[in-house]
Amino acid sequence: MEIKNQSENRDPQTGQESNSSEMKAPAQKIWSDRLRWNIAFHVAGSILALFAIVIMVNYLAARHFDRFYLGQGVQARMSPRTLNILHSLDQKVRVVVFFDREETLFKPVSALLDEYSYASSMLDLEYVDYYRDPGKAQLIKNEFDLSPVTDQNVIIFESGGRKKVVSQGMLSEYDIEPVIRQETSEVKRIGFKGEQMFTAAILNVTDPDPMKLYHLTGHGEHSITDFKQEMGYGSFSEVLKENNIEVETLFLLETGIPEDCRGLILAGPVTQLHPKELQLIDEYLQRGGRLFCLMTYFSVQKKTGLRELL
């Protein structure tokens, strides 16, 4: 037989019997409130932690980022040389794309210059459509003194008061052979020279003292100004100029080697160099000078005096 202690169920104050379920209800309510507050605290903490992570990732991404090219044949990739020049810029360069957005070349021009801007914070890139914004276009014309011939579809580079204008016609390479052979009357564009011209323009406006080379003449050398004949080196001189390198012809016996000479070009001489010329070149090389010597079949067959010097 089970005997219950009646006093265990009595209220100690009133002496009356108490209901155990009534005692459990407040305890369950307190526990439930604590659980809800605990859950709310953890949720709020998780949200704050998530926001902190997002802010931290954005902070790091803004300072340490990389760009990936997902498409094939992307023409906006830049050469290591261009990237080195952009990363070494220590002065602001303003770039004004004065272009009609409907022009065929606008998209490759803008895509490439956007990459330039991403690569260097020293470039201030600005787009002006002279059709859609004639008022601003007129201000640009007045500011940069654009001539009627070059007053549209140009890219203007400016820094430290120096200006370089790259026109639309300078950005393309064309195949005119079919036109010469009268196979067609249409000139086909075969290449885009945007990076070549833009990098050269940046060098032109940021380097006050471009490199200067001298082309020796007077011994039957290839002409540095001849663009027509196959033996002419005119195109070579243009490539040098596009890379911010000036080239001048030099008669060595008349002037000697100038102080600003950063290098001599001797392109295929076929006649004897004067002993005084050889002496001047030798002294220049002894001082740490540079000589770019090109020897053709005819140069090797002739006695030019260079064999002993070299």
Cα→Cα distances 13→7, 10, 66, 71, 93, Å: 12, 9, 77, 85, 91
For residue 67, is pLDDT > 70? Answer: no
Quote the tokens at residue 41: 């605290």
Residue 19 has pLDDT above 90, yes or no: no
pLDDT at 72: 42
pLDDT bucket at 113, cuts 50 / 70 / 90: very high
Residue 29 has a pLDDT of 62
- Residue-level pLDDT at 2: 47
Mean pLDDT of all residues in 273-278? 91
* Confidence grade of residue 75 (pLDDT, cut at 50, 70, 90): very low
Q: 250-272 pLDDT, tens per residue?
A: 998 888 999 889 999 999 898 88
Within a 10 A sphere around the Cβ of 47, how many other Cβ atoms?
10
The whole-angstrom separation of Cα 231 and Cα 85 is 33
pLDDT of 87 over the 50 cut = yes
The pTM of the full predicted model, rounded to 2 decimals, is 0.55
Q: Please, what is the Cα angle at 194 between 81 and 188, to 5 degrees? A: 135
Of 65-69, 178-182, 265-269, 301-305, the least confident? 65-69
pLDDT mean across residues, the chain: 82
β-bridge pairing 188-192 and 172-175: antiparallel
Q: Residue 66: its pLDDT value, please?
A: 55
